[in-house]
Structures are given as C-alpha cells and as structure tokens.
Chain A
Amino acid sequence: MTTAKTSNNGSTACDYFALEGTIDLHSEALLMAIPAKVKHPVVRFDFAKAGRVNSMGVALLLRCFKEISGKAEIRLEGLSQMHAMLFKMTGVFLLATPAEQNKEGAA
C-alpha cells in the first residue's frame, strides 16, 4: 500500500510527496496521478516511510519521474541503504537526485 502526502513549502517553492509502505503494482494509480500535481520547479519525494520497492514499483517510479523530469527537478529524501542500492542499479538516479547522499550512503 502506498500513500502520498502533498505539502507546499512557500519558501523553497517545491512540491512534496511522502511515500509509505510497499511500492509495487498496486501503487500504480497513486504514482501515475503525481505528475499532474507538480506545480513547482522542485519536487521532493520522501521515502522515509516507504518499505519494499519491487521491480514493478521501480517501473512505476521511472515512469512517474520521466513525466516530471521535463518540468521539475526531482529530489529523493529519506532513502534507506536498500533503496539507494536498488535505485542506483536500476537507473532511477539518472532521473532523480538523492538529497541525502552522504548520510544514506547512496554514493
């Protein structure tokens, strides 16, 4: 189950989405709805409460990020070591930048 919360921080002009739970095929509706909600030049995705991301979850994230990448910069926060390894090997980091690179060992 994935849930997303949106908040706009006026001082940094960004959109913010917090992902929770397992990210898999069942996250499709939620992830595909996100690009239309992006209004600012920076989008932050928070994975601190996200759990397992399987290959279908990766496919959906890539599709979502591709749609956003033309109009906004994507930053990933709260990544676990596992998320960072997975995103590095599957090309997610080509579309989105890990914001806490040093802290989370995402280098």
Chain B
Amino acid sequence: MKKIAALFLDATDRADWREALSEVADIVCLTVDGDLASALRALRDSTADTDFGVVMLSARLYPEAYPELAVRLRAICPEAEFLVISREAGAPPLRSLLADRIRHLTISAKHDLAGGEQLPAVIAMLAQRRPWDAASCLKTGTPVHSFELGSSEDKEGVIGALERVLAGQGDEIELLRQKASLLADELMENAMYGAPRASHGVPMFRKGEKRQMLPHEVIVFSFGFDGETLALNLTDNWGSLEPDQVLECLTRNADGYQDADECGGRGLFIVWRFLDQFHVSVQPGRRTAVGGQLHLASKLDPATPRGFHIIEEEIAA
C-alpha cells in the first residue's frame, strides 16, 4: 500500500484538518511554515522506502501561497494522485487546478454536513485508483436500478422510473426529484449525443435527433435511493471524454457564464453543481462513467463551487 502525504501552510492549517484525517493510516503530514524547500526535502526523504499514492494539498497552501507547488511535487511524486482539500470559504480557482492537471478537489465544511465528503473514503478511493461505485454511498441492501438505453426515446421513461423511486410529498423530496430528473436528462443527453465520436473526434449525432443505439454501443443509466442519499451513474462504452476536457469545461462555465449560450459543456457543469459529490472515470476509448451522489437534505449551495474526482483508469494489459 502506498503512503499518503499531506502538506499544510502552518500549524493552524494542519490543526484545522486533524480531525478529518484522524482515521487515515500511513499518512505523512508536513507543514511548510514559510520554508517550502525544507518541506519538499522532508517529503523526498520520505519517498526513500515507499512512493506516495496520494498527495494532499491544503488550499491555504496551494495555489495562492505557492502557485508552483504542484509542479515541484510532481517531480518528487510523479505517479501520485493529487488532491486539493479546501474549506467552503477558501475554494481555489479552478483555472490553477486545470493548468496543473489536478483532478481531485474536496470542499468540506468543518463539521459534518448532509452531502459533505468524508476524506478517509476519498483517500482510500484515490489510493486504490478505483472508480466511484454508486452502491458504495447507499445503505446496505439498497437496490440499484439499471436501464440500458435502446434509443433516444427511452430517456423520458427512465426519468419517470427515477421519479417513481423518489416518490413522496414534501419540499425536500420534491426538490430532490426535480434535481434528479435534470441530472438524469443531462447525463443521458451527454452519453447519447456527446460521447459518440467519429474519426477526428467529430460528433456522430446532432443534439435532439431521434436515434437508435448502435449495435456495439452500450449506454447504461443506474440509480439507487436509500431514503436519504441518491446515487446516479451513467456509463457509456465510448470512453471519448478526456479527463482534462472535464475540468476545462467546468472551469470555462464557472469563469464566464455571461457568455454561456456560446459555451459548450454546460450540461456537465450543471451536473457538477447539482450533485453533492461528482465523479468521472474514464478508460480512454473504452468506457466513461459520470455520476455522483446527492443527499435529500443537502445544504450545499449549487451556486458555489463543488469538489470533483476525475480518474483516468488504467487499462489492464
């Protein structure tokens, strides 16, 4: 098992995350305290026996205080997954993360919040480089319903099935139902019209046109609801969504939505903002999975930035 590294700005910053990281084993915590060179030397020394699988950076340290940090760390830990951890008030600008190809961001409240992410679970997922699993966030025994799309006409039927699983009265469940149907709509539209690419990356189908799935094409929408948490996942077997393209699209829409009618990738941006936790995993040319979870009583504001996890899966030889 590879080790975990965590770098903090100072002792106050480190103390702020102590409780959240208390259950993480094999973690090396370093405090920069104004001397980055020493902290990096200590990190390099720690790699003598085992490499780091995950490197965590506090958002108080990166990108604002030390914008060059990600580049310097990659030289020491070239194989590690990089995760920026941030409090809601200090979420980092996505443009820096995009430039440094950092594909994991967790934004957590100081105290447990419905829909909030648990760092130990995130770190375990990254350390093993395993994609997010819809069942993992649901209570044991919760059924996960899966629908393979045969044609574009199936979309509304699948959304109807999802809405029936979320039956009930009250403001919270009504809002969850509305969010869920929009998320399902965006995920299926992206898979049916965004994913299929001909040579040179040209889209094969026009948005909105009626279409049958191709003989080799597999698009599966899955969901489960355990009474509190809704998990949604869409997989296609195109694998055409590039990890960097995901972050680029989130950044572009977050930065400049006043020109958003000309801006691509808005569907993915909406999915990111409405989910409590957003996960993408890609096996290039083989498989894309986009999904995440949403809590019935989520207190996360869709108008504010959200965390994300974008994993490029290794293809077994």
Contacts and interface: CB of A to CB of B under 8 A. Distances in A.
A89 B268 CA distance: 13
A52 B185 contact: yes
Contacts of A86: 182, 270, 302
A8 interface: no
A30 interface: no
Interface stretch (B13-21, B59-67, B255-263): B255-263
Size category of the binding interface on chain B:
20 to 34
Interface in A61-103: 62-63, 66, 80-82, 85-86, 88-91, 94
B207 A91 contact: no
A61 to B, nearest CB: 8
Interface string A11-48: 00000000000001110000000000000000000000
B178 A66 contact: no
B11 interface: no
A62 B179 CA distance: 20
Contacts of A82: 175, 178-179, 182
Given A85-B303, A89-B270, A52 B260 contact: no
A3 B160 CA distance: 22
A52 B257 contact: no
Interface in B144-202: 171, 175, 178-179, 181-182, 185-186, 189
A56 B207 contact: yes
A55 interface: yes
A60 B266 CA distance: 12
B266 A58 contact: yes
A24 B207 CA distance: 11
A54 to B, nearest CB: 5
B175 A59 contact: no
Contacts of A59: 260-261, 266
B182 A56 contact: no
A81 B175 contact: yes
B208 interface: yes
B273 interface: yes
B267 interface: yes
B182 A91 contact: no
A16 B270 CA distance: 28
B298 to A, nearest CB: 11
A60 B261 CA distance: 7
Given A25-B208, A66-B261, A55 B178 contact: no
Interface of B: 171, 175, 178-179, 181-182, 185-186, 189, 207-208, 253, 257-258, 260-261, 266-267, 269-270, 273-274, 302-303
Interface of A: 24-26, 52-56, 58-60, 62-63, 66, 80-82, 85-86, 88-91, 94
The 4 closest A-B pairs by CB, nearest first: A91-B257, A62-B261, A25-B208, A55-B267
6 contacts: A53-B182, A54-B182, A54-B185, A54-B267, A55-B267, A89-B269
